[in-house]
Structure 1
């Protein structure tokens, strides 16, 4: 009985801690995507409004130049021409600074903007900001939002597999454009 009570107490403490560190809820499918104004790896300002009339693949990732994030950026890089042919622009977002993004983009020949959310405001607005108790750092969870040309969220990918995400987005784009 005491063991069960300890487990329940530990679970409750974990749930409370998660609630403290999980920042906001993600925008629901069918609602307007939150606006943002962020600098890319070249220092240029990017806003969601600049992409009106286009599909936008807005993917959040934890950290530049780490194994999963490198796999994901390279997969989007390799599929960028297919995505652009489908009418979509790719934007990667993490909490890393512009200098880190510039080095990451140069190292892996990234042909699309990597946006620096160093204030964490965009990650909060999209409900992807989280905190690692173990490492004592905030980071963006690996999640992707597909935004339609009118600026509405049409798909939210949670629990993203870095190798598969780009292919999922391409398939969903084709289905959405064909009215499926």
Structure 2
């Protein structure tokens, strides 16, 4: 796993969202962007995190931020997740893990004593110039908006 850090240029990416639209980093040029990576749509922790960001969407917008969620789920699963909870931001269906690997959040994990490869729950805050302004690797799923906006 490579580790991006504050001050690094964000990887240029393109991937399909839950509706099949291509979303790229360049779409957000001149805007601040929160890119949050989560292991799996509709699981308890991921739902808590995504809902917390959605509940604070207007706070993000008022400070000039756009939000983008990314996991390796299919477009259909992402669409179901978004529709069920009414998320106001796109979810990337990164099934080939190109965005996940570009940001270096795929790697070995442990859960209940078992080791496996998966997505590390990580959030990147990218400034208007495409530079990483913050990396949050210890995500508090129920208070994630505060971690980003109060940092």
TM-score calculated relative to the size of structure 1: 0.78
- Among residues 117, 124, 130, which one is paired with 1:145 in the alignment? 124
Q: Report the equivalent of 2:93.
A: 116
Q: Judge conservation of contact 1:95–1:139 (CA < 8 Å) in 2.
A: no
Q: Judge conservation of contact 2:109–2:120 (CA < 8 Å) in 1.
A: no
Correspondence list, 1:42-121, <5 A: 42-121=19-98
Q: Which has the higher contact order (CA 8 A, sep 6+)?
A: 2
TM-score calculated relative to the size of structure 2: 0.92
Q: Report the equivalent of 1:155.
A: 134
Structure having the higher Rg: 1
Greater shift after overlay, 159-168 or 95-104?
A: 159-168
More helix by share: 1
Q: Judge conservation of contact 1:27–1:34 (CA < 8 Å) in 2.
A: no
Q: Judge conservation of contact 1:26–1:125 (CA < 8 Å) in 2.
A: no
Q: Report the equivalent of 1:4.
A: none
More strand by share: 2
Aligned residues: 148
Q: Deviations over 1:98-147 (max 9, x none)?
A: 000000001111110001111112111111102457485x4311110000
- Which structure 1 residue ranges, 5 or more long, are not aligned? 1-23, 173-180
Aligned mates of 2:98, 2:140 — CA distance in 1: 24
- Which structure 2 residue ranges, 5 or more long, are not aligned? none
Q: Please tell me the root mean square deviation across aligned C-alpha atoms, in Å.
A: 1.4
Q: Deviations over 1:1-55 (max 9, x none)?
A: xxxxxxxxxxxxxxxxxxxxxxx21222101000110111111110000001000
Say if 2:134 is the partner of 1:167: no
